[in-house]
Amino acid sequence: MSGKVVLITGASSGLGELIAYEYAKRGAYLTIVAIKEPESRLEQVAHKARELGSPDVLFLFADVSKIEECRMFVDDTVKYFGHLDHLVCNAGIGPIYSIDIDVSKFEPVMPAMYEACFNNSFTNALVFYILLLLLFLISPLLFVWELIITVRSSFRPNENMSGKVVLITGASSGLGELMAYEYAKRGAYLAITSIKEPESRLEQIAHKARELGSPDVRFLFADVSKVDDCRMFVDDTVRHFGHLDHLVCNAGVGAIYSIDIDVSKFEPVMDINFWGSVYPTHFAIPHLMKTNGKIIVNSSSSGVLSVPKAGVYGASKAALISFYESLRHEVSPKVTITIVTLGFVETDIITSKYSTNSVGVSLRRDIGDVYPTMGADACAKAIVDGVCKGATSITQPRFIKALFFIKFLFPEIHRLYFNIYFASMHAKLQRGG
C-alpha cells in the first residue's frame, strides 16, 4: 500500500478509525471523512495515523447523505493526492436497542470467548469450516424438511377471503392488477391504488375486479413515496370498509444501473420500492393487528442474488427483505408477513419500452427475449394461493431458491457464473435485433 491513496468515510471512531490505522501502518496516504460534530476526533485520528506511518493524511468534514458533499470530498482527495486507489465506505448509524432482561452477568464471559474465536484468523476460519461441515452433514435433513413443508402446504386449507378487505398498491398494471383479479375471484373487497398518470387503467381494473366477483372495489390515486398519501389511502380503506385484512405492498419501479449515469437520478427507486412499502405498512399495522391480518411484500430475487446492472433496484429490494424479516418478529403471531422473491416475470417492467421511459440504461430488446421468464398470470395465482395457505415466503420460479443456496455457500462460484452468463445476456439486450 506504500504510496497508494485511501479514502475512508465515517473515520472519526470505531472501525473507520481502526481501518485508517491499519492502512497507515502499511504506508498509505489517507483521506478520512466524518460529519462535523462537537465530539468529533477526526483531527486526533489524522495525527495518530501519521505517527503510525502514513506519509500524509487529509481530514475533511462532510455529510455522506448529501450528494454534493460526497462529490466534494472525492474531488478534494483526487485534487490533493492526484489519484485514488481504495474507497472504504464505512459511514453508518444504528439504533440503540434495549431489552428488559438483565444480561450483565454474561458480560465477563462472552467478550473473552469472542476474542478467542474471532480475533485470531486461524480460529475464525476454523469456526466457519466446522459450521460448513455441519451444514453439509444435516443438508439431507434440511431437504426432507423442505419437502415436508411443501407437501403440508398443499393440504393446508385456504383462507376464506369472502368478505375480507385487501389493499393493493401499484395495482394499475402487472402483478398488482393480476393479484387484484385473483383476490376478486375469491370474493374479497378491494382497495387498489396507483399513481395518477394519463395511461392509468385503475378504473377499468376496478370494473373488471367487480365482474370477477369482488363485492366492492375502491380505487384511489396516490404516490406511495409520500408518507401523507400512504396515511390517506390506508385510512380511507378502513373508513370505507370498516377494517383491513391483507396489505399487498406491490408498488415498485425498475431501473438498470450504470456508473455512467448521474446517481441522483436513481433516488426515486429507493423512495418508491422501499419507503413506498414501509409507509403504508406503518399505518396499516394497527388495523391488521385487530384482524390477525397479513402483509404481502413484493420483493425480488435481485435483493438476494445481487444481479449485475441491478445495483440500486437490487439494493431497494434487499432493504425490503431485511426490514420485513425483522418486522415479522415484532408483529407475529398477530400479523403474518409474506415476503415474495421473484425472478423475471412477464410484465411491462422487463420490456425495452419500460427501460426507455425509466431512469437508467435503455434496452433494445425485452428481457424476456433473453432470460427465462415466468408468465404473469401464473405468478400472480401462485402468490395469492401461497398467501391464502399461510406461506411466509414465496419464491417464483421455484428454481431461484437453488441460486440462493449457491450464492450464500459458494459466493465465488456465484460471482463467476453471473459474470459470464449475465455479461453475455446483457450484450444481447443492448444489441437488439
Active site residues: 313
- Alpha-carbon distance of 360 to 261, in angstroms, equals 7
Question: Which residues have CB under 8 Å from 270's CB, separation 6+?
Answer: 312, 315, 316, 319
Among residues 278, 233, 234, the alpha carbon closest in space to that of 252 is found at 278
Number of neighbours of residue 406 by Cβ within 10 angstroms: 13
Number of neighbours of residue 241 by Cβ within 10 angstroms: 19
Degrees, nearest 5: CA angle 213-214-219: 140
Number of neighbours of residue 239 by Cβ within 10 angstroms: 8
Residue identified by cell 462537537 is 38
370 — phi, psi (to 5°)? -115, -45
Beta bridge partners of 30: 6, 57
Residue identified by cell 469450516 is 129
Beta bridge partners of 390: none
